[in-house]
A and B are shown apart, each in its own frame.
Chain A
């Protein structure tokens, strides 16, 4: 991709813009894929990115078709095909990881507003059907045969205070991450008691293992990459 060089004074905005236009969609997709793999909960669906990548893939598939018929040398055709395959792998893997997470935590996602909003339209449709099917299956095969008070698929019994039969992702897992800039003021809410109120800082390009909860907002805003 063309890397625009900005002459004269570089404000941080121009730097960001440079970084933006010189990062290809494939790199963005790779980043989204890695973040999704490493995060314990489902992250926001990158609908713009995925739409663009899908378009590019379709375009490329047409180009390859065309080149095959025209009779371009098989070497460059195979290279185009390889690139296409690589991008397809990233896309498929990204979608599959999300589906894996949805399947694991479907009831929880269904009832949590914040997580529900992170799904794409197709994923929402999938989740609804999945939860309905699983609920029906559980009720028909097991729950209807249990005594009155224990028939909910969400709670162990009527006297439970909350939905304790719904698996939730563990947000306090430790993840490996790296930031691109110097970040200060990260609150480590969880950890040994006396360290809890300490503010943590991160140098750029150094790897850290941190509790996911503490850096959740920074991952969402894109300042930290998970590895």
Chain B
């Protein structure tokens, strides 16, 4: 049954992010012959041995698990490209735009299931880990720049996993800034600040501390 991830923590659980990422299209080289698949998500195939075909990632992984294909690692996942990206990340404060939105999930899935299709898998893996660290560190420093003037935050080129991690923090931080800056707030030293999201904002009643 479709479980529900905890709303309070972070909008999407890691598994749900992976689910979303699994719809990305990758290239595969099948080693079997199969008729086209007319799925709800789209039509894929026909599959002919040694002919490169585009399929969604979940389909590629399923075929790979059964030994029916080999996955072509995406362009951005080569040692050279990643080294370039790492250099670029280290040099500038901006986020690199050469990484796809779901790079964390895609690389994780490919490492778990298609390691033999990636040349220099260890190198690639450690590069991606480094890139993740550098990017996240940048995000952290950017977040420190928040203040009461911030009304909206613009983030360029952040990836899905990173966004999911900082989302609750940014949401609550902006919320707190907005609330404390709002002129509608009736200053009353006896009133305890209310952080429960359900009480109507204009309630003049006693507010409970969460």
Contacts and interface: CB of A to CB of B under 8 A. Distances in A.
A206 B39 contact: no
Interface string A114-126: 0000000000000
B75 interface: no
A80 B163 CA distance: 32
Given A75-B68, A167-B200, A193-B183, A86 B58 contact: yes
A174 interface: yes
A200 B152 contact: yes
Interface residues of A, number: 60
Contacts of A56: 40
Contacts of B203: 164
A104 to B, nearest CB: 7
B154 A188 contact: no
Given A96-B2, A166-B200, A170-B201, A79 B62 contact: yes
Contacts of A26: 40-42
Contact of A195 (B151, B174, B200): B151
A156 interface: yes
B167 A83 contact: no
A91 B46 CA distance: 28
B29 to A, nearest CB: 17
A18 interface: no
A88 B1 CA distance: 9
A182 B75 CA distance: 29
B198 interface: yes
Contact of A86 (B19, B199, B205): B19
Instruction: Kindly name the residue among B12, B160, B174 whose own CB sees the greatest number of chain A CB atoms within 10 A.
Output: B174
Interface in B178-210: 178, 181-183, 197-205
B20 to A, nearest CB: 7
Contacts of A195: 149, 151
Closest 9 A/B residue pairs (Cβ): A167-B198, A92-B2, A191-B151, A209-B153, A83-B39, A174-B174, A93-B2, A26-B41, A207-B155
